[in-house]
Chains A and B, each alone.
Chain A
Amino acid sequence: GESVGLHLPTLSVQEGDNSIINCAYSNSASDYFIWYKQESGKGPQFIIDIRSNMDKRQGQRVTVLLNKTVKHLSLQIAATQPGDSAVYFCAETTGFQKLVFGTGTRLLVSP
């Protein structure tokens, strides 16, 4: 079946470093991808999205890259801050706005 997975369960970085969180997806028909940030006890918070007709999209301190050839998605966070510590999920749509999530990557930022 369809699945979205993450390569690294935990990523530890120093404050000020750039962080890269990776995601592999298996459904080549997916045409929309979203990154969410989830802090403990809270609902997922939208970070950035990208459609399949793009390969890069930038936001404030965040960039998403999409490589459809190898079905790979990444989230880059510039100048990582302690407030960025959370679990990050990628998700893909498979029609009717149903989202398929991976298991998440925990980002730990040390001061």
Chain B
Amino acid sequence: DAGVTQSPTHLIKTRGQQVTLRCSPISGHKSVSWYQQVLGQGPQFIFQYYEKEERGRGNFPDRFSARQFPNYSSELNVNALLLGDSALYLCASPASSTDTQYFGPGTRLTVL
């Protein structure tokens, strides 16, 4: 039974570029959440999607956007990258009958 998967594992971009990160939730689960974790800090909530609809948004600029597909996988897009966007981007999927969120391995984004 596959857990949360994310791709790519690592990514290097330059300032001003755009990036797309991908996530597949636990099989059959309809909700996906995205978090940003800057080095040395705890994860910060970015978005939550449930059945293709945005259910929550954290305090992030409009350069950050996301969407969820009919198969419940999700993409996180970040435009006009800044150096401060360098972080580990985490995707989480809740268990079916509890609030527990299980995290994927993350995508390490480095902006030069």
Contacts and interface: CB of A to CB of B under 8 A. Distances in A.
Interface of A: 4, 32, 34, 36, 41-46, 49, 89, 91, 93, 95-104
B48 A96 contact: yes
A interface: dominant SS: strand
A37 B106 CA distance: 14
Interface centre among B102, B103, B108 (most CB of A within 10 A): B103
Given A93-B99, A97-B33, A104 B48 contact: no
A43 B9 CA distance: 11
B77 interface: no
A51 to B, nearest CB: 9
Contacts of B42: 4, 89, 91, 101-104
Nearest to A95: B56
A109 B104 CA distance: 25
B56 A43 contact: no
**Max count, chain B CB within 10 A of own CB: residue among A45, A95, A98, A101:** A98
Contacts of B56: 95-98
A43 B48 contact: no
B48 A97 contact: yes
Given A97-B101, A102-B42, 11 more contacts: A43-B88, A43-B90, A43-B104, A44-B43, A44-B103, A46-B100, A46-B103, A49-B100, A97-B56, A97-B94, A101-B43
